[in-house]
Structure 1
Amino acid sequence: MPELPDVAGFRRVAEQATGRQVREVRVHDAQVLRGIGADAFQRALRRRYFAEPRRHGKWLLIATAAAVNASPAPPTLLLHFGMTGSLQWCAHGDELHQHDRLVFDFAAGELRYRDMRKLTGIHLAREQDEVDDLLAELGPDAQEIGTDEFAERLTRTRRRLKPALMDQAVLAGIGNICADEILWRARIDPNRSTTDLGAADLDRLHREMRAMLREAVRVGRVPDGASWLTGHRDEPDRRCPRCSSALRRMRIGGRSTLWCPTCQPA
Protein backbone atom coordinates (compact mmCIF):
# COMPACT_ATOMS: atom_id res chain seq x y z
CA MET A 1 0.00 0.00 0.00
CA PRO A 2 1.41 3.44 -0.85
CA GLU A 3 2.38 5.30 2.33
CA LEU A 4 3.88 8.72 2.95
CA PRO A 5 7.27 7.95 1.32
CA ASP A 6 5.59 6.50 -1.78
CA VAL A 7 3.36 9.55 -2.18
CA ALA A 8 6.43 11.75 -1.81
CA GLY A 9 7.83 9.81 -4.78
CA PHE A 10 4.61 10.32 -6.74
CA ARG A 11 4.88 14.03 -5.96
CA ARG A 12 8.24 14.12 -7.72
CA VAL A 13 6.67 12.38 -10.71
CA ALA A 14 3.87 14.95 -10.80
CA GLU A 15 6.40 17.79 -10.64
CA GLN A 16 7.27 17.02 -14.24
CA ALA A 17 3.91 18.53 -15.16
CA THR A 18 4.38 21.70 -13.08
CA GLY A 19 3.76 24.82 -15.15
CA ARG A 20 2.54 22.80 -18.12
CA GLN A 21 -0.86 23.07 -19.78
CA VAL A 22 -3.19 20.09 -20.00
CA ARG A 23 -3.88 19.50 -23.69
CA GLU A 24 -6.28 16.64 -23.15
CA VAL A 25 -7.65 14.44 -20.36
CA ARG A 26 -8.39 10.82 -21.25
CA VAL A 27 -10.55 8.89 -18.78
CA HIS A 28 -10.15 5.19 -19.46
CA ASP A 29 -12.03 4.10 -16.33
CA ALA A 30 -14.44 6.55 -14.67
CA GLN A 31 -14.64 4.35 -11.56
CA VAL A 32 -11.55 6.12 -10.19
CA LEU A 33 -13.38 9.46 -10.21
CA ARG A 34 -15.18 10.48 -7.03
CA GLY A 35 -18.18 12.81 -7.13
CA ILE A 36 -17.80 13.84 -10.76
CA GLY A 37 -18.44 12.27 -14.14
CA ALA A 38 -15.86 11.77 -16.86
CA ASP A 39 -17.15 14.50 -19.17
CA ALA A 40 -17.30 17.15 -16.45
CA PHE A 41 -13.85 16.13 -15.20
CA GLN A 42 -12.36 16.50 -18.66
CA ARG A 43 -13.99 19.89 -19.24
CA ALA A 44 -12.83 21.21 -15.87
CA LEU A 45 -9.15 20.40 -16.46
CA ARG A 46 -8.63 20.79 -20.19
CA ARG A 47 -6.31 23.74 -20.94
CA ARG A 48 -5.55 24.27 -17.23
CA TYR A 49 -1.97 24.64 -16.03
CA PHE A 50 -0.70 22.36 -13.25
CA ALA A 51 0.83 24.12 -10.25
CA GLU A 52 3.52 22.53 -8.07
CA PRO A 53 2.03 19.51 -6.26
CA ARG A 54 1.97 19.23 -2.49
CA ARG A 55 1.44 16.28 -0.19
CA HIS A 56 -0.45 15.83 3.07
CA GLY A 57 -0.18 12.37 4.55
CA LYS A 58 -1.13 9.92 1.82
CA TRP A 59 -2.90 12.57 -0.29
CA LEU A 60 -1.39 14.43 -3.24
CA LEU A 61 -2.87 17.81 -4.12
CA ILE A 62 -2.34 19.60 -7.43
CA ALA A 63 -3.78 23.08 -7.77
CA THR A 64 -4.46 24.27 -11.29
CA ALA A 65 -4.19 27.69 -12.92
CA ALA A 66 -6.46 29.07 -15.58
CA ALA A 67 -5.50 30.41 -18.95
CA VAL A 68 -5.88 34.21 -19.20
CA ASN A 69 -9.49 35.32 -18.63
CA ALA A 70 -10.67 31.74 -18.34
CA SER A 71 -13.59 30.86 -16.10
CA PRO A 72 -14.77 29.38 -13.80
CA ALA A 73 -12.09 29.47 -11.10
CA PRO A 74 -9.50 26.72 -11.57
CA PRO A 75 -10.08 23.59 -9.45
CA THR A 76 -7.72 21.53 -7.31
CA LEU A 77 -6.99 17.89 -8.06
CA LEU A 78 -6.78 15.57 -5.05
CA LEU A 79 -5.36 12.08 -5.56
CA HIS A 80 -5.37 9.15 -3.15
CA PHE A 81 -3.61 5.93 -4.08
CA GLY A 82 -5.40 3.34 -1.95
CA MET A 83 -3.75 -0.09 -1.99
CA THR A 84 -2.29 -0.17 -5.49
CA GLY A 85 -2.28 3.32 -7.01
CA SER A 86 0.67 5.20 -8.49
CA LEU A 87 1.59 8.02 -10.85
CA GLN A 88 3.71 7.47 -13.93
CA TRP A 89 5.29 9.98 -16.31
CA CYS A 90 5.31 8.49 -19.81
CA ALA A 91 6.37 9.56 -23.26
CA HIS A 92 3.78 10.03 -25.95
CA GLY A 93 3.30 6.73 -27.71
CA ASP A 94 4.27 4.56 -24.72
CA GLU A 95 2.01 1.55 -24.57
CA LEU A 96 -0.96 2.05 -22.28
CA HIS A 97 -0.79 -0.18 -19.21
CA GLN A 98 -3.93 -2.20 -18.52
CA HIS A 99 -4.35 -0.37 -15.20
CA ASP A 100 -3.81 3.17 -16.52
CA ARG A 101 -7.19 4.62 -15.53
CA LEU A 102 -6.58 8.29 -16.30
CA VAL A 103 -4.14 10.16 -18.56
CA PHE A 104 -3.27 13.86 -18.52
CA ASP A 105 -1.71 14.79 -21.83
CA PHE A 106 0.90 17.58 -21.97
CA ALA A 107 3.13 18.71 -24.82
CA ALA A 108 6.14 17.19 -23.01
CA GLY A 109 4.57 13.85 -22.09
CA GLU A 110 1.77 12.14 -20.19
CA LEU A 111 0.98 11.90 -16.50
CA ARG A 112 -0.84 8.62 -15.87
CA TYR A 113 -2.83 7.52 -12.81
CA ARG A 114 -2.35 3.77 -12.56
CA ASP A 115 -4.36 1.66 -10.12
CA MET A 116 -5.21 -2.03 -10.18
CA ARG A 117 -7.81 -2.26 -7.41
CA LYS A 118 -9.44 1.21 -7.60
CA LEU A 119 -10.21 1.35 -3.87
CA THR A 120 -9.98 5.13 -3.53
CA GLY A 121 -9.42 7.53 -6.40
CA ILE A 122 -9.46 11.12 -7.59
CA HIS A 123 -11.46 14.11 -6.41
CA LEU A 124 -11.83 17.53 -7.99
CA ALA A 125 -12.44 20.43 -5.60
CA ARG A 126 -13.88 23.64 -7.06
CA GLU A 127 -13.31 25.73 -3.92
CA GLN A 128 -10.86 25.70 -1.04
CA ASP A 129 -13.73 24.76 1.29
CA GLU A 130 -14.09 21.49 -0.62
CA VAL A 131 -10.38 20.76 -0.19
CA ASP A 132 -10.68 21.49 3.52
CA ASP A 133 -13.70 19.19 3.83
CA LEU A 134 -11.91 16.29 2.13
CA LEU A 135 -8.90 16.61 4.44
CA ALA A 136 -10.81 17.64 7.57
CA GLU A 137 -10.46 14.31 9.37
CA LEU A 138 -6.70 14.03 8.84
CA GLY A 139 -4.22 14.73 11.58
CA PRO A 140 -0.97 16.64 11.06
CA ASP A 141 1.46 15.31 8.48
CA ALA A 142 3.86 12.80 10.04
CA GLN A 143 6.88 14.44 8.43
CA GLU A 144 6.01 17.89 9.77
CA ILE A 145 4.61 17.35 13.27
CA GLY A 146 6.64 18.62 16.22
CA THR A 147 7.63 16.61 19.29
CA ASP A 148 5.12 18.10 21.72
CA GLU A 149 2.12 17.82 19.43
CA PHE A 150 3.15 14.28 18.47
CA ALA A 151 3.21 13.23 22.13
CA GLU A 152 -0.10 14.94 22.91
CA ARG A 153 -1.99 13.44 19.97
CA LEU A 154 -0.58 9.95 20.42
CA THR A 155 -1.39 9.68 24.13
CA ARG A 156 -4.77 11.41 24.30
CA THR A 157 -6.61 8.04 24.22
CA ARG A 158 -5.79 4.64 25.68
CA ARG A 159 -5.05 2.19 22.87
CA ARG A 160 -2.30 0.00 21.50
CA LEU A 161 0.57 1.93 20.02
CA LYS A 162 0.68 0.57 16.49
CA PRO A 163 -3.00 1.23 15.65
CA ALA A 164 -2.61 4.72 17.12
CA LEU A 165 0.36 5.45 14.85
CA MET A 166 -1.62 4.28 11.82
CA ASP A 167 -4.76 6.25 12.64
CA GLN A 168 -4.87 8.95 9.97
CA ALA A 169 -6.94 11.18 12.27
CA VAL A 170 -4.07 11.12 14.76
CA LEU A 171 -1.20 11.34 12.31
CA ALA A 172 -1.42 11.51 8.53
CA GLY A 173 0.80 9.34 6.36
CA ILE A 174 1.89 6.34 8.45
CA GLY A 175 0.81 2.92 7.19
CA ASN A 176 1.57 -0.65 8.15
CA ILE A 177 5.15 -0.93 6.88
CA CYS A 178 6.19 2.50 8.15
CA ALA A 179 4.73 1.79 11.59
CA ASP A 180 6.65 -1.49 11.93
CA GLU A 181 9.88 0.16 10.80
CA ILE A 182 9.50 3.10 13.19
CA LEU A 183 8.70 0.94 16.21
CA TRP A 184 11.59 -1.39 15.46
CA ARG A 185 14.00 1.53 15.18
CA ALA A 186 12.67 3.00 18.42
CA ARG A 187 12.89 -0.41 20.18
CA ILE A 188 9.27 -0.22 21.37
CA ASP A 189 6.81 -3.12 21.47
CA PRO A 190 3.90 -2.44 19.06
CA ASN A 191 1.49 -3.87 21.65
CA ARG A 192 2.30 -1.26 24.29
CA SER A 193 -0.45 1.08 25.35
CA THR A 194 -0.05 4.70 24.37
CA THR A 195 -0.68 5.69 27.99
CA ASP A 196 2.32 3.63 29.16
CA LEU A 197 4.80 5.68 27.15
CA GLY A 198 7.08 7.98 29.07
CA ALA A 199 8.58 11.23 27.84
CA ALA A 200 11.81 9.49 26.79
CA ASP A 201 9.84 6.87 24.80
CA LEU A 202 7.82 9.53 23.00
CA ASP A 203 10.87 11.63 22.23
CA ARG A 204 12.73 8.61 20.83
CA LEU A 205 9.69 7.49 18.83
CA HIS A 206 9.29 10.92 17.27
CA ARG A 207 13.01 11.20 16.51
CA GLU A 208 13.15 7.78 14.85
CA MET A 209 9.97 8.45 12.89
CA ARG A 210 11.41 11.67 11.47
CA ALA A 211 14.73 10.01 10.64
CA MET A 212 13.09 7.00 8.97
CA LEU A 213 10.75 9.17 6.92
CA ARG A 214 13.58 11.44 5.84
CA GLU A 215 15.51 8.47 4.42
CA ALA A 216 12.45 6.83 2.89
CA VAL A 217 11.17 10.02 1.26
CA ARG A 218 14.55 10.46 -0.38
CA VAL A 219 14.04 7.23 -2.36
CA GLY A 220 10.24 7.40 -2.65
CA ARG A 221 9.49 4.22 -0.69
CA VAL A 222 10.42 2.37 2.50
CA PRO A 223 13.79 0.83 1.57
CA ASP A 224 14.06 -2.95 1.74
CA GLY A 225 17.82 -3.14 2.25
CA ALA A 226 19.52 -5.54 4.65
CA SER A 227 19.72 -2.98 7.47
CA TRP A 228 15.97 -2.25 7.36
CA LEU A 229 13.30 -4.38 9.02
CA THR A 230 11.29 -4.09 5.81
CA GLY A 231 14.02 -5.94 3.95
CA HIS A 232 13.32 -9.08 6.00
CA ARG A 233 9.50 -9.13 5.93
CA ASP A 234 9.22 -11.83 3.27
CA GLU A 235 12.16 -14.05 4.20
CA PRO A 236 11.28 -17.65 5.16
CA ASP A 237 13.60 -17.45 8.20
CA ARG A 238 12.99 -13.86 9.29
CA ARG A 239 15.82 -12.52 11.47
CA CYS A 240 16.29 -9.15 13.10
CA PRO A 241 18.88 -7.14 11.13
CA ARG A 242 20.14 -5.66 14.41
CA CYS A 243 20.47 -8.65 16.77
CA SER A 244 19.72 -11.70 14.55
CA SER A 245 16.88 -12.89 16.81
CA ALA A 246 13.94 -14.60 15.14
CA LEU A 247 11.32 -12.01 14.22
CA ARG A 248 7.71 -12.49 15.27
CA ARG A 249 4.59 -11.80 13.27
CA MET A 250 1.04 -11.39 14.51
CA ARG A 251 -2.05 -9.31 13.74
CA ILE A 252 -2.47 -6.09 15.71
CA GLY A 253 -5.44 -3.91 14.98
CA GLY A 254 -6.25 -6.16 12.04
CA ARG A 255 -2.86 -5.63 10.38
CA SER A 256 0.06 -8.03 9.99
CA THR A 257 2.80 -6.82 12.34
CA LEU A 258 6.48 -7.72 12.38
CA TRP A 259 8.74 -7.03 15.34
CA CYS A 260 11.77 -8.29 17.25
CA PRO A 261 11.01 -9.64 20.75
CA THR A 262 14.62 -9.03 21.82
CA CYS A 263 14.96 -5.44 20.59
CA GLN A 264 11.34 -4.57 21.36
CA PRO A 265 10.59 -6.25 24.70
CA ALA A 266 7.13 -6.05 26.23
Structure 2
Amino acid sequence: MPELPDVEKFRRVLAEHTGEPIRSVSVLDAGVLRGVTARRLDAALRGRPFGEPRRHGKWLLAPAGGPVVLLHFGMTGSLSWHRADEPRHRHDRVIWRFRDGELRYRDMRKLQGVRLAADGEAAEHALDGLGPDASEVSRDRLADLLSGRRGRLKPALTDQSVLAGLGNLLADEILWRARINPMRTGGDLDGPELTALHRAMRGVLRASVKAGRVPPRRTWLTGARDEPEGACPRCGTPLSSRRVSGRRTVWCRTCQPR
Protein backbone atom coordinates (compact mmCIF):
# COMPACT_ATOMS: atom_id res chain seq x y z
CA MET A 1 0.00 0.00 0.00
CA PRO A 2 1.53 3.38 -0.98
CA GLU A 3 2.30 5.45 2.11
CA LEU A 4 4.10 8.77 2.56
CA PRO A 5 7.53 7.53 1.31
CA ASP A 6 6.04 5.97 -1.82
CA VAL A 7 4.11 9.13 -2.68
CA GLU A 8 7.24 11.20 -2.14
CA LYS A 9 8.97 8.93 -4.67
CA PHE A 10 6.11 9.55 -7.13
CA ARG A 11 6.45 13.29 -6.48
CA ARG A 12 10.12 13.11 -7.45
CA VAL A 13 9.26 11.23 -10.63
CA LEU A 14 6.81 13.97 -11.59
CA ALA A 15 9.26 16.71 -10.59
CA GLU A 16 11.72 15.41 -13.18
CA HIS A 17 9.21 16.12 -15.95
CA THR A 18 7.96 19.62 -15.26
CA GLY A 19 8.12 22.55 -17.66
CA GLU A 20 7.34 20.69 -20.88
CA PRO A 21 3.84 20.98 -22.40
CA ILE A 22 1.53 18.00 -22.06
CA ARG A 23 0.71 16.80 -25.56
CA SER A 24 -2.39 14.86 -24.56
CA VAL A 25 -4.06 12.97 -21.74
CA SER A 26 -5.44 9.50 -22.45
CA VAL A 27 -7.81 7.88 -19.96
CA LEU A 28 -7.68 4.13 -20.50
CA ASP A 29 -10.06 3.42 -17.63
CA ALA A 30 -12.46 6.13 -16.44
CA GLY A 31 -13.00 4.10 -13.26
CA VAL A 32 -10.12 6.01 -11.65
CA LEU A 33 -11.55 9.47 -12.41
CA ARG A 34 -13.21 11.29 -9.53
CA GLY A 35 -15.42 14.26 -10.37
CA VAL A 36 -13.95 14.84 -13.82
CA THR A 37 -14.52 13.34 -17.27
CA ALA A 38 -11.80 12.08 -19.57
CA ARG A 39 -12.62 14.82 -22.10
CA ARG A 40 -12.45 17.57 -19.50
CA LEU A 41 -9.17 16.29 -18.07
CA ASP A 42 -7.54 16.33 -21.50
CA ALA A 43 -8.98 19.75 -22.42
CA ALA A 44 -7.84 21.31 -19.14
CA LEU A 45 -4.27 20.00 -19.36
CA ARG A 46 -3.39 19.74 -23.06
CA GLY A 47 -0.63 22.20 -23.93
CA ARG A 48 0.09 23.08 -20.29
CA PRO A 49 3.25 22.07 -18.42
CA PHE A 50 3.24 20.62 -14.95
CA GLY A 51 4.79 22.92 -12.36
CA GLU A 52 6.61 21.88 -9.20
CA PRO A 53 4.51 19.14 -7.57
CA ARG A 54 3.72 19.03 -3.87
CA ARG A 55 2.88 16.15 -1.56
CA HIS A 56 0.67 16.28 1.53
CA GLY A 57 0.40 12.98 3.32
CA LYS A 58 -0.61 10.40 0.73
CA TRP A 59 -1.82 13.02 -1.77
CA LEU A 60 0.17 14.36 -4.72
CA LEU A 61 -0.73 17.78 -6.13
CA ALA A 62 0.44 18.63 -9.64
CA PRO A 63 -0.22 22.24 -10.70
CA ALA A 64 -0.51 22.89 -14.41
CA GLY A 65 -0.53 26.65 -14.86
CA GLY A 66 -4.00 27.08 -13.38
CA PRO A 67 -5.71 23.73 -12.92
CA VAL A 68 -4.26 21.27 -10.42
CA VAL A 69 -4.27 17.49 -10.74
CA LEU A 70 -4.75 15.65 -7.45
CA LEU A 71 -3.53 12.07 -7.32
CA HIS A 72 -4.25 9.52 -4.62
CA PHE A 73 -2.82 6.04 -4.95
CA GLY A 74 -5.18 4.03 -2.77
CA MET A 75 -3.79 0.58 -1.97
CA THR A 76 -2.16 -0.31 -5.30
CA GLY A 77 -1.49 2.89 -7.25
CA SER A 78 1.75 4.26 -8.68
CA LEU A 79 3.11 6.94 -11.01
CA SER A 80 6.01 6.15 -13.32
CA TRP A 81 7.82 7.45 -16.39
CA HIS A 82 8.10 5.39 -19.58
CA ARG A 83 9.23 5.64 -23.17
CA ALA A 84 6.30 6.08 -25.52
CA ASP A 85 7.09 2.76 -27.25
CA GLU A 86 7.23 0.80 -24.00
CA PRO A 87 4.36 -1.71 -23.79
CA ARG A 88 1.50 -0.68 -21.55
CA HIS A 89 0.72 -2.51 -18.36
CA ARG A 90 -2.82 -3.86 -18.09
CA HIS A 91 -3.40 -1.70 -15.02
CA ASP A 92 -2.26 1.57 -16.60
CA ARG A 93 -5.28 3.86 -16.24
CA VAL A 94 -4.27 7.43 -17.22
CA ILE A 95 -1.43 8.51 -19.54
CA TRP A 96 0.08 12.00 -19.77
CA ARG A 97 2.02 12.21 -23.04
CA PHE A 98 5.07 14.43 -23.52
CA ARG A 99 7.53 14.90 -26.35
CA ASP A 100 10.01 12.35 -24.99
CA GLY A 101 7.86 9.93 -23.01
CA GLU A 102 4.83 9.34 -20.82
CA LEU A 103 3.76 9.57 -17.22
CA ARG A 104 1.53 6.62 -16.36
CA TYR A 105 -0.89 6.36 -13.45
CA ARG A 106 -1.23 2.68 -12.70
CA ASP A 107 -3.67 1.14 -10.24
CA MET A 108 -5.00 -2.39 -9.96
CA ARG A 109 -7.82 -1.91 -7.45
CA LYS A 110 -8.97 1.62 -8.38
CA LEU A 111 -9.95 2.55 -4.83
CA GLN A 112 -8.89 6.18 -5.22
CA GLY A 113 -7.75 7.95 -8.37
CA VAL A 114 -7.36 11.22 -10.27
CA ARG A 115 -9.14 14.49 -9.51
CA LEU A 116 -8.95 17.93 -11.11
CA ALA A 117 -9.21 21.21 -9.21
CA ALA A 118 -9.80 24.49 -11.01
CA ASP A 119 -6.93 26.23 -9.24
CA GLY A 120 -4.63 26.08 -6.24
CA GLU A 121 -7.26 27.37 -3.83
CA ALA A 122 -9.71 24.66 -4.88
CA ALA A 123 -6.98 22.04 -4.55
CA GLU A 124 -6.21 23.16 -1.00
CA HIS A 125 -9.91 23.11 -0.17
CA ALA A 126 -10.06 19.46 -1.34
CA LEU A 127 -7.50 18.59 1.34
CA ASP A 128 -9.21 20.49 4.16
CA GLY A 129 -10.02 17.32 6.09
CA LEU A 130 -6.40 16.19 6.37
CA GLY A 131 -4.22 16.55 9.43
CA PRO A 132 -0.66 17.92 9.24
CA ASP A 133 1.88 16.03 7.17
CA ALA A 134 3.61 13.41 9.31
CA SER A 135 7.07 14.38 8.06
CA GLU A 136 6.65 17.98 9.18
CA VAL A 137 4.84 17.71 12.51
CA SER A 138 6.76 18.78 15.63
CA ARG A 139 6.89 16.86 18.88
CA ASP A 140 4.62 19.39 20.59
CA ARG A 141 2.15 19.33 17.71
CA LEU A 142 2.07 15.55 17.86
CA ALA A 143 1.31 15.76 21.57
CA ASP A 144 -1.56 18.16 20.84
CA LEU A 145 -2.97 15.86 18.15
CA LEU A 146 -3.03 12.87 20.51
CA SER A 147 -4.08 14.75 23.63
CA GLY A 148 -7.44 13.64 24.98
CA ARG A 149 -7.92 10.85 22.43
CA ARG A 150 -9.64 7.88 24.05
CA GLY A 151 -9.19 5.40 21.24
CA ARG A 152 -6.24 3.13 20.58
CA LEU A 153 -2.99 4.65 19.44
CA LYS A 154 -2.52 2.66 16.21
CA PRO A 155 -5.81 3.82 14.61
CA ALA A 156 -5.06 7.40 15.68
CA LEU A 157 -1.72 7.35 13.86
CA THR A 158 -3.28 6.01 10.67
CA ASP A 159 -6.27 8.38 10.78
CA GLN A 160 -5.52 10.84 7.96
CA SER A 161 -7.65 13.52 9.61
CA VAL A 162 -5.29 13.39 12.60
CA LEU A 163 -1.94 12.90 10.89
CA ALA A 164 -1.52 12.67 7.11
CA GLY A 165 0.77 10.11 5.49
CA LEU A 166 1.07 7.15 7.84
CA GLY A 167 -0.31 3.77 6.87
CA ASN A 168 -0.22 0.31 8.35
CA LEU A 169 3.47 -0.50 7.81
CA LEU A 170 4.75 2.87 8.99
CA ALA A 171 2.58 2.95 12.11
CA ASP A 172 3.66 -0.54 13.21
CA GLU A 173 7.33 0.24 12.52
CA ILE A 174 7.20 3.53 14.40
CA LEU A 175 5.47 2.05 17.44
CA TRP A 176 7.92 -0.87 17.52
CA ARG A 177 10.89 1.48 17.43
CA ALA A 178 9.36 3.65 20.15
CA ARG A 179 8.61 0.52 22.26
CA ILE A 180 4.96 1.52 22.61
CA ASN A 181 2.11 -0.99 22.42
CA PRO A 182 -0.33 -0.25 19.56
CA MET A 183 -3.29 -0.95 21.86
CA ARG A 184 -2.39 1.90 24.20
CA THR A 185 -4.81 4.81 24.43
CA GLY A 186 -3.58 7.74 22.36
CA GLY A 187 -4.19 10.34 25.03
CA ASP A 188 -2.42 8.41 27.80
CA LEU A 189 1.18 8.74 26.62
CA ASP A 190 3.50 10.54 29.01
CA GLY A 191 6.19 13.05 28.04
CA PRO A 192 9.07 10.60 27.48
CA GLU A 193 6.79 8.30 25.45
CA LEU A 194 5.68 11.17 23.23
CA THR A 195 9.31 12.13 22.69
CA ALA A 196 10.19 8.53 21.80
CA LEU A 197 7.23 8.31 19.43
CA HIS A 198 8.16 11.52 17.65
CA ARG A 199 11.82 10.55 17.38
CA ALA A 200 10.90 7.13 15.98
CA MET A 201 8.52 8.70 13.48
CA ARG A 202 11.14 11.14 12.22
CA GLY A 203 13.78 8.43 11.91
CA VAL A 204 11.55 5.91 10.16
CA LEU A 205 10.21 8.51 7.72
CA ARG A 206 13.66 9.85 6.93
CA ALA A 207 15.02 6.39 6.09
CA SER A 208 11.86 5.34 4.22
CA VAL A 209 11.75 8.48 2.07
CA LYS A 210 15.38 7.88 1.14
CA ALA A 211 14.51 4.30 0.13
CA GLY A 212 11.32 5.35 -1.67
CA ARG A 213 9.29 2.87 0.37
CA VAL A 214 9.07 1.32 3.83
CA PRO A 215 12.13 -0.93 3.47
CA PRO A 216 11.82 -4.58 4.58
CA ARG A 217 15.23 -4.60 6.26
CA ARG A 218 16.30 -7.41 8.57
CA THR A 219 16.78 -4.93 11.41
CA TRP A 220 13.27 -3.48 10.92
CA LEU A 221 9.93 -4.89 11.99
CA THR A 222 8.89 -4.73 8.34
CA GLY A 223 11.62 -7.26 7.54
CA ALA A 224 10.03 -9.87 9.80
CA ARG A 225 6.30 -9.09 10.01
CA ASP A 226 5.24 -11.19 7.01
CA GLU A 227 7.35 -14.26 7.83
CA PRO A 228 5.30 -17.32 8.92
CA GLU A 229 7.33 -17.57 12.14
CA GLY A 230 8.35 -13.92 12.36
CA ALA A 231 10.40 -12.92 15.39
CA CYS A 232 11.28 -9.51 16.78
CA PRO A 233 14.52 -8.32 15.16
CA ARG A 234 15.51 -6.72 18.46
CA CYS A 235 14.87 -9.44 21.08
CA GLY A 236 13.84 -12.59 19.18
CA THR A 237 10.37 -12.87 20.74
CA PRO A 238 7.78 -14.33 18.32
CA LEU A 239 5.79 -11.44 16.91
CA SER A 240 2.18 -10.92 17.94
CA SER A 241 -0.51 -10.09 15.38
CA ARG A 242 -4.18 -9.15 15.49
CA ARG A 243 -6.64 -6.92 13.68
CA VAL A 244 -7.09 -3.48 15.20
CA SER A 245 -9.85 -1.34 13.67
CA GLY A 246 -9.83 -3.64 10.66
CA ARG A 247 -6.06 -3.46 10.08
CA ARG A 248 -3.53 -6.19 10.68
CA THR A 249 -1.30 -4.97 13.46
CA VAL A 250 2.06 -6.53 14.40
CA TRP A 251 4.08 -5.90 17.55
CA CYS A 252 6.48 -7.49 20.03
CA ARG A 253 4.90 -8.30 23.36
CA THR A 254 8.34 -8.10 25.07
CA CYS A 255 9.52 -4.79 23.58
CA GLN A 256 6.03 -3.27 23.54
CA PRO A 257 4.28 -4.40 26.74
CA ARG A 258 0.86 -3.10 27.72
Structure 1 partner of 2:22: 22
Q: Equivalents in 2 of 1:196, 1:57: separation in Å? A: 25
SS at match of 1:149: helix
Superimposed CA distance per residue, residues 28-62 of structure 1 (whole angstroms, 9 cap, x where no aligned partner): 11111111111111100000011111100000001
The whole-number CA distance in structure 2 between the counterparts of 1:83 and 1:223 is 17
CA distance in structure 2 between the aligned counterparts of 1:228 and 1:19, rounded to whole angstroms: 39
Q: CA deviation at 1:194?
A: 1.4
Instruction: Choose from 186, 192, 204 the match for 2:196.
Output: 204
Following the alignment from structure 2 to structure 1, what is the Cα–Cα distance between the partners of residues 18 and 116? Answer: 17
For these two proteins, the number of residue pairs brought into alignment is 258
Shift of 1:133: 2.2
**Residue 3 of structure 2 corresponds to residue 11 of structure 1:** no
Structure 1 residue aligned with 2:179, among 164, 172, 187?
187
Q: Which consecutive unaligned segments of at least 5 residues does structure 2 have?
A: none
Query: Shift in Å at residue 128 of structure 1?
Result: 2.9
2:75 is equivalent to residue 83 of structure 1: yes
Residue aligning to 2:53: 53
Kept in 1: contact 2:73–2:113 (CA 8 A): yes
Structure 1 runs not aligned, ≥5 long: 66-73
From 138, 157, 163, the counterpart of 1:165: 157
Q: What residue number does 1:43 align with? A: 43
CA deviations over 1:238-260 (Å, ceiling 9, x no partner): 10001111000001111100000
* Rounded Cα–Cα distance in structure 2 between residues aligned with 1:18 and 1:127: 17
| Secondary structure in 2 matching 1:242 | coil
Superposed CA deviations along residues 198-251 of structure 1, whole A, max 9, x for unmatched, are 011001101110110000001110000101100112211110001111000001
Give the letter aligned to residue 116 of structure 2.
L
108, 118, 124: which one pairs with 2:116?
124
TM-score by length of 1: 0.95
Q: Residue type matched to 2:129 in 1?
A: E
What TM-score, normalized to structure 2?
A: 0.98
Q: How much is the aligned-residue C-alpha RMSD, in angstroms?
A: 0.9
Secondary structure at the aligned position of 2:22 is classed as: coil
Structure 1 stretches of at least 4 aligned residues deviating more than 3 Å after TM superposition = none
AA at the equivalent of 2:154: K
Could you say which residue in structure 1 is the equivalent of 2:93? 101
